A and B are shown apart, each in its own frame.
Chain A
Amino acid sequence: MVRFIVKRLLALIPILLGISFVSSMLFYIVPGDIVTVMLGQHVDPLTYANVRKALGLDLPFWENFIRFIQGVFCGDLGYSYIQQRPVNQIILEAVPVSVKMGIMALLINIIVGIPAGILAAINDKRISGRVLNSSSIIIFSFPAFIAAMFMQLILGVKLGWFPVSGSEKGMLSYVLPGLALGLPLSAVNARLARASMLEVMTQEYIISAISRGLPYRRVIIKHGLRNALIPVLTNFGMFVGAFMSGFVLTETVFNLPGMGRLVFSAINARDFPVLRGILFISALFAVLTNLLVDLIYARLDPRIATVIVGENTDAAG
C-alpha cells in the first residue's frame, strides 16, 4: 500500500510540471502584448517596463518557466501585479471557502443521494421507487441557479434559518450553497446508485445469499451495497476533482469568496499569475483526490486491491 501511494505521488511530478508548462505558456501565447492587455493601451513606458520585469517577461520562456518552478519549490506561486499581493496569499484565502462548500455539498450528496438511489432500486416495482426515481430526474433537470434562488428566498429570507449570502456565520453559511450544489449532484448519484444497485441485485451472489436464508435487509446492506457503491465512488472522484474551479455559479449567487469566484475575476482582470497558481493548485488537488478515491476503491473491493494496488490486502502471505 505504501509503495502504491509513493508511486502515485511520484507521478504527480510530471503532471504538475506539465500544467506549469502550459500555464506559463499563457504569458507568451496570449494575442498581443500581455502587459498592454493588463494595463491598457496608454501606459507610461516606465511602468510598462517595470511590470514586464516583474512578470519576468523580459526573460526567454524557458527561464521564466524555470523561475516559476524554482518558486514552487520554495512554496511561492508568484506575485499578482493587479492585486498587489502574493498569489499564495490570494489562493490561501479562497481555498478554505471552496473546501467548506465542497464538503457540505459532498455530505448532502452522501446523505441524500446514496440512500435515495438504494431505496429507489429496492422498491423498483413499487410506487415509492418510481416517485424517488422520477423526483431525482426532476431535481437534476431543474436549473441550479433558480433552485439556489428559491432556497435563498424560502430557507433564508422567509424562515431565516440560514444566512443568504457571505461566509461570516461559520459552517451555517455554507448550508444553502451546499444544498444548491449538492442536491442536483445527489440526484445524479441517486440515479447512478439505483442503476448500479439494480444490476447488483440480479447477480448470482445475491440470489445465493438469499438462498442461504439471510434476511433481506442484510443481503441488501452487506452484500449489495458494497458492490453497488463502486461506480458511485467514481462519480464522487470526478466531482471532487472538479470542484476547485467549477463552482463559479454557486459562489456568485451566494457571494462566497472561493476559488470559483477567484478564477472568474482572474480571467476578467487577465491576472495571469493568479490563474497559473489556481491551475497548479487545482491539478494538485485533482490528483490527490483521485489517489484517495483509488485507496477507497481498494478498501471496498479486494479484487481492485490486488490488481491496482498490486498487493494482497489479506493476511495470506
Chain B
Amino acid sequence: MEILKVNDLTVYFDTRCRPVKAVDGISFALRRGETLGIVGESGSGKSVTALTVMGLAQSIGARIVSGEVWYDGKNLLSSQDLYRQVRGKKISYIPQEAAPALNPVLQVGKQLGEMLSVHLGLSAGDVRRKTAQLLETVELPQPELVARLYPHQLSGGILQRVLLAMALSCGPDIIIADEPASSLDTTIQAQILRLLGTIKAREGLSLILIAHDLGVIYQNCDRVLIMYGGRIMEAGLTSQILENPLHPYTVSLLETYRCLEEGMKQPGLTKSCPPASRENIPDALGCVFAYRCQRAMDICFLKKAPSLTLDDGRTVSCHHLLHLRQDGNPDARM
C-alpha cells in the first residue's frame, strides 16, 4: 500500500538568467513499511526533492512549478496548513548535517522537548521524562546529561542521534533522511544507519533514505530511485537495479563505485562533471544525461526519453532501451 505519493514534481530555482531545474517532473511512491532509496551525484535534485516533500521549498528559496504530494488522502502541497498538521508529527525529516540543524543557543533537550509540548501537548514533567526516554531509544548513555548540554558541547555522532530522537519523538509514519551522518566517519555512519534500521523495523515506519553511497543503498533499501539532473533515470527493486543496471547512468555509477572499491582507477565510461560546471550547458532538449553518455545517439539530444516500465517492474528512461525493444529484442541488456 502506498503511504506517500509524489506526482510530477517540478521545482525550479530562479536565477538571474534562467531558472535552474532542480527537480524536473518526477513521480514516485513510498509503500508502507519499505525503505526507498534515492541516489544520484551532487546536484541531481535529491535533497530538493526531500525538502519539497517536507513543504520547505519556499524556505530554501525554490519555486514549486507543479506537482502533488499525496499523504493520507490529501495533497499536502495544496495548502501550508496541511503541512502544519503533519510536519514533524507524521512526516519527519533528518537533515544531512546535525550541528547546523540545531539552534546553537538552546539546550538540545529543550529543542527536543519543544516538539513534544507543541505536537503532543505534554506537561513539563512528562516532556522531561519523554525526552530522556527518547534519548535512551537512540542509544545515548546519560540522557539527562545530554539533554542539558548545548549543541557545541556535543559530538557530531551524538547530535545525529539527537536529531534521530527528534524525528521519532511524535511517532511519525514516514521519516525522510537526507544522507544522515554522511558528514561523519564511516563507523558512526554505519552505527546511525543500523540504529535507524532497527527503529524503523520496530515501529513499522516507512523510510526515504537519500544517499550517494551505493553501498548504503544496497544494504538498507528495498527500492531505489536513480536520479540525475532532476529526473529519475531508473527506478525499481534495489537488488535488480544494482545487480543488473539498465540505464547507462546507473551503469556508470556502479562502475565508479567499483573503481573506488578496488582503488582509484579511471572509470572511463563517463566524463566527470562537477555540478558547477554544468551552469554553462544550456537546458537539455532531450535526455539530461545525453552529453555525458557514451552511448548517446542523435535522438538522445533531441527528444526527452520516455520512461518505460519493464516486465520486472522497474522503470527506465532511456532511448537506447526503447530502440532495442523496438528492434524486437526485449531481453537485450546494456
Instruction: Check if A205 is an interface residue, CB within 8 A of chain B.
Output: yes
Cβ of A251 to closest chain B Cβ, rounded Å: 38
Q: How far is the CA of A6 from the CA of B89 in the complex (A)?
A: 48
A301 touches B115 (CB 8 A): no
A29 interface contact, C-beta 8 A: no
Q: Are B148 and A204 in contact (CB under 8 A)?
A: no
Q: Is B149 touching A213 in the complex (CB atoms < 8 A)? A: no
Chain A residues positioned under 8 Å from B92 (CB to CB): 211-212
Query: Of residues A209, A227, A300, which shows the largest number of chain B Cβ atoms within 10 Å of its Cβ?
Result: A209
Q: Chain B, 136-151, contact with A by CB distance < 8 Å: what is the 0/1 string?
A: 0000000001001110
B171 within 8 A of A: no
Q: Complex Cα distance A301/B153, Å?
A: 13
Also in contact, A213 and B115, with CB within 8 A (given A207-B59, A316-B145, A316-B153)? yes
Contact B97 A302 (CB under 8 A): no
Question: Is A215 a contact partner of B118 (Cβ separation < 8 A)?
Answer: yes
**Can you offer 10 A-B residue contacts whose CB atoms are under 8 A?**
A207-B60, A213-B86, A218-B118, A226-B105, A226-B106, A302-B105, A303-B104, A303-B150, A314-B149, A316-B153
A206 vs B150: C-alpha distance in the bound complex, in angstroms?
16
Q: Tell me which residues across on chain B come within 8 A of A203, comparing CB atoms.
A: 100
CB of A215 within 8 A of CB of B107, answer: no
Cβ–Cβ < 8 Å partners of A290 in chain B: none
Interface string of B105-142 (1 = CB under 8 A from A): 11100010011001100000000000000000000000
Contact bitstring B80-114, A, C-beta under 8 A = 1, else 0: 00001011110011010100111111110001001
Q: Which residue of B lies closest to A301 (CB)?
A: B105
Measured CB to CB, the closest approach of chain A to B116, in angstroms, equals 11
* Inter-chain contacts of A223 with B (CB < 8 A): 103, 106
- B63: CB under 8 A from chain A? no
**Interface residues, chain B, with chain A CB atoms under 8 Å away:** 51, 54, 56, 59-60, 84, 86-89, 92-93, 95, 97, 100-107, 111, 114-115, 118-119, 145, 148-150, 152-153, 166, 170
- Asked whether, in the complex, the Cβ of B89 is within 8 Å of the Cβ of A303, the reply is no
Q: Are A227 and B103 in contact (CB under 8 A)?
A: yes
Q: Given A212-B115, A214-B118, is A204 in contact with B100 using a C-beta cutoff of 8 Å?
A: yes
Tell me the complex Cα distance, A4–B152, Å. Answer: 21
What's the Cα separation between A214 and B101 when bound, in Å? Answer: 14
- A303 vs B151: C-alpha distance in the bound complex, in angstroms? 9
Pair B104/A209 contact, Cβ less than 8 Å: no
Partner of B100, one of A205, A210, A222, A227: A205
Query: In this assembly, does A30 line the interface, its C-beta being within 8 Å of a C-beta of chain B?
Result: no
The answer to whether B104 touches A214, judged by C-beta atoms less than 8 angstroms apart, is: no
Q: Which residues from chain B contact A208 at a C-beta distance below 8 Å?
A: 93, 95, 101-102
Chain B: minimal CB distance from A272 (Å): 48
B contact residues around A47 at 8 Å (CB):
none
Candidate in A212, A214, A301 with the most chain B CB atoms within 10 angstroms: A212
A252 contacts chain B at the CB level, 8 A cutoff = no
Q: What is the CA–CA distance of A296 and B103 in the complex, to the nearest angstrom?
A: 18
Report how far A214 CA is from B170 CA in the complex, Å.
12
Residues of A within 8 A of B95 (CB): 204, 208, 211
| CA distance in complex: A314, B148 (Å) | 7
CB of B183 to closest CB in A, whole Å: 12
B114 touches A312 (CB 8 A): no
User: Cβ of A312: which chain B residues have Cβ within 8 Å of it?
Assistant: 153
CB distance from A257 to the nearest CB of B (A): 43
Identity of the chain A residue whose Cβ is nearest the Cβ of B110 in the assembled complex: A222
Whether A213 lies near B103 (C-beta < 8 A) is: no
Instruction: With CB as the reference atom, state the residue of chain A lying closest to B119.
Output: A213
Contact, CB under 8 Å: B87 / A212: yes
8 residue pairs, one from A and one from B, having the closest CB atoms: A213-B88, A213-B87, A208-B101, A212-B88, A204-B100, A302-B150, A211-B93, A205-B103
Are the CB atoms of B152 and A306 closer together than 8 Å?
Answer: yes
Q: Is there contact, CB below 8 Å, between A204 and B106? A: no
CA distance A203 to B118 in the complex (A): 22
Residue in chain A with minimal CB distance to B107: A314
